Amino acid sequence: MVEQAIDDELSDRRLELSHNTFRRFEEMGIIESAESAMFGKIYSEAFSYFINYKMHSREPISLREMEEFEHVIDRRVMEIKGRIMHLTGR
């Protein structure tokens, strides 16, 4: 489930939309780095998806499940960064 949320956020269209938005904010001096904001958005979306899934199942989130979530992020962090950097050309 978390993998799918990350895959959705890494689609070319979503990355382009995020980049355009966050690049404007960076140019306005509102944020320091569009790339960092993009990474945060992907993490936040994956975490929100995970939380929503657990809310609908009505089961409490176990420590093991939180650890699994972090393992997915850890495993995909370089891919996420690479996709962002490729898009932004930095």
- Rounded to the nearest integer, the mean pLDDT of the chain is 93
Residue 65, C-beta contacts closer than 8 angstroms, at least 6 positions apart:
54
Given the structure tokens 């995970």, which residue do they identify? 50
How far apart CA 31 and CA 45 sit, in angstroms, is 19
CB 3 within 8 A of CB 72: yes
The pLDDT value recorded for residue 65 is: 92
pLDDT of residue 41: 96
Position 90 scores a pLDDT of 65
